[in-house]
C-alpha cells in the first residue's frame, strides 16, 4: 500500500511537470512567432516602396511580448508543480525514513577486506591501472596475485573474441584437476569447439589428429563415423 501511494504521488508530480513544460514550450513558441512576424514585417516593407518605421514595429512587438510573455501564464502551472513536489517529498520522508542514522549499526570495520573487494572489482573489470594505484596506496601487496589471475582471464577472453582458442585450451589443461573437482565440463566444451574449428578451417586429417590427442574426450567416435562414411 505504501508503494502504491508513493507511485500515485509521483505520477501526479509527473503530470504537473508535463503540464508546466507544455505551457513553457507554448509560451516560447509564441514569443518566437511574434519576433519572426516583426522581422518579416520590417523586411517586407524595406523591399517595397511602402515606408514603415521599424521603431513602430518594435514598439508593437514589445507590447505583444508583454502580453504573451506575462508571468501570469506560467505562475499557475508552476505553483501547482511546486505544491505537488512538496507533498511528494513529505510523503517520502514519512514512509521511507530518510534518516540513515536509524539504520546504522556499530559494527567492526575491516579496511583490509574492503580494499580486497574494491581491488578485485577493478581487476575483474579489466581496470588494471586503477586497481594497481589503489593496491599501492592501500598497502595491499598480497593482492598482486589477483592481478595475475584476472590478467590471464582477460587475455584469454581477448583471444576468444579473436577466435583464438589456444590460451583457453591451455588454461583448462593446466587447471584440469580443479575443474574436475568442481564438476565443470568446460574442458570438454573447449576441446570440442577447438576440434570443430580445426575441422572447418583446416583439414579433416588435422581434426582427426587432434581427436587422437585427447581420446578420453570422446572424439574417437567421430573418427569412426568419418571412416564409415568416408
- Together in a domain, 94 and 167: no
By C-alpha distance, which of 168, 135, 169 is closest to 153? 168
Pairwise CA distance, residues 96 & 139, whole Å: 39
Q: Provide the domain limits for residue 203.
A: 163-229
Residue 216 three-state SS: helix
Q: Into how many domains does the chain fold?
A: 2
The answer on 77 and 170 residing in a single domain is: no
Same domain, residue pair 88 and 169 = no
- Among candidate residues 103, 132, 147, the one where a domain is terminated: 103
| pLDDT for res 222 | 45
**How confident is the model at residue 223, as a pLDDT?**
46
**21 and 90 assigned to the same domain:** yes
Return d(Cα 91, Cα 10) in angstroms, integer: 10
pTM: 0.41
Q: Residue ranges of the chain with pLDDT lower than 50?
A: 220-230
Q: Can you read off the three cell numbers belonging to residue 104?
A: 546504522
127: alpha, beta or left, given left = phi > 0 and alpha = psi -120 to 50? beta
In a domain, 125, yes or no: no
Q: What is the pLDDT of residue 67?
A: 79
Length of the chain in residues, anyone? Answer: 230
Residue 149, in any domain of the structure: no
Distance CA 217, CA 192 (A): 8
* Cβ atoms of 210 and 195 closer than 8 Å: yes
Alpha-carbon distance of 165 to 53, in angstroms, equals 81
Same domain, 97 and 168: no
19 and 90 part of one domain: yes
Q: Has residue 151 been placed in a domain?
A: no
Residues 16, 90, single domain; the answer is: yes
Amino acid at each position: 500500500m505504501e508503494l502504491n501511494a508513493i507511485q500515485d504521488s509521483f505520477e501526479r508530480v509527473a503530470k504537473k511537470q508535463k503540464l508546466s513544460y507544455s505551457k513553457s514550450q507554448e509560451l516560447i513558441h509564441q514569443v518566437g512567432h511574434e519576433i519572426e512576424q516583426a522581422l518579416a514585417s520590417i523586411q517586407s516593407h524595406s523591399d517595397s516602396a511602402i515606408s514603415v518605421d521599424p521603431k513602430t514595429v518594435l514598439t508593437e512587438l514589445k507590447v505583444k511580448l508583454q502580453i504573451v510573455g506575462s508571468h501570469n501564464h506560467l505562475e499557475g502551472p508552476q505553483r501547482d508543480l511546486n505544491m505537488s513536489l512538496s507533498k511528494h517529498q513529505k510523503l517520502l520522508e514519512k514512509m521511507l525514513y530518510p534518516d540513515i542514522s536509524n539504520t546504522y549499526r556499530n559494527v567492526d570495520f575491516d579496511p583490509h577486506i574492503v580494499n580486497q573487494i574494491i581491488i578485485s572489482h577493478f581487476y575483474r573489470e579489466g581496470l588494471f591501472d586503477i586497481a594497481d594505484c589503489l593496491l599501492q596506496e592501500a598497502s595491499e601487496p598480497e593482492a598482486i596475485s589477483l592481478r595475475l589471475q584476472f590478467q590471464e582471464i582477460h587475455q584469454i577472453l581477448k583471444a576468444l573474441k579473436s577466435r583464438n582458442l589456444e590460451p583457453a585450451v591451455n588454461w583448462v589443461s593446466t587447471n584440469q584437476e580443479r575443474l574436475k573437482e568442481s564438476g565443470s565440463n568446460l574442458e570438454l566444451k573447449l576441446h570440442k569447439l577447438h576440434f570443430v574449428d580445426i575441422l572447418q578451417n583446416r583439414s579433416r586429417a588435422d581434426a582427426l589428429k587432434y581427436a587422437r590427442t585427447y581420446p578420453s574426450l570422446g572424439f574417437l567416435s567421430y573418427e569412426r563415423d568419418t571412416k564409415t562414411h568416408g
